Structure 1
């Protein structure tokens, strides 16, 4: 799915910024419904950032202030779920190690989420 289509479905606008301006992957301003993405990232990395940031729409400022790690994990889980769903919809044989390598997922938490979301989607 095109990046613009992902944003359109979520009801947000996509905007890009230069890495020289700000050295982070992206962010969302939920009040304005705008996702900002670093344009120096690959398209695949941009997709991951967009899916992650869109998931933050489900978090209030209070939730994020109280437990930012939980909010970040929930956003990562939503991103992982969307990427796995896309891969399964395209009919690819799922191999979680290749999936994790392709999407630069490196932590034990990422691995647990990938396996959990995969079985959730096929079950």
Structure 2
């Protein structure tokens, strides 16, 4: 039986592991979204650290999608998902290697932190 608490709190009443991981991913994503409103109170450094949770949120949500989705299993879309994730990781790696010319003037000085 589904109750609203099951959508927010993972592993309540013996919930499935894949569903629990999806709930944790959702909660982390909501925390990152809420931190945008609290950016001035948190300060830039703390706000930036909270935004690292977005990577965990994405990973847990992706695991949830591949383990709990009947469509992914039935349509054989696992390969498409793996290629998409590998492409995203490769793009992030490439962006880290390229020099940041335009962003140099936009960097935050230590006084602003």
Q: Which of the five TM-score ranges fits, normalised by the shorter chain?
A: 0.3 to 0.5
Q: Which has the larger radius of gyration?
A: 2
TM-score, normalised by the number of residues in structure 2: 0.32
| Bigger helix share | 2
| Bigger RCO (CA 8 Å, 6+ sep) | 2
| Bigger strand share | 1
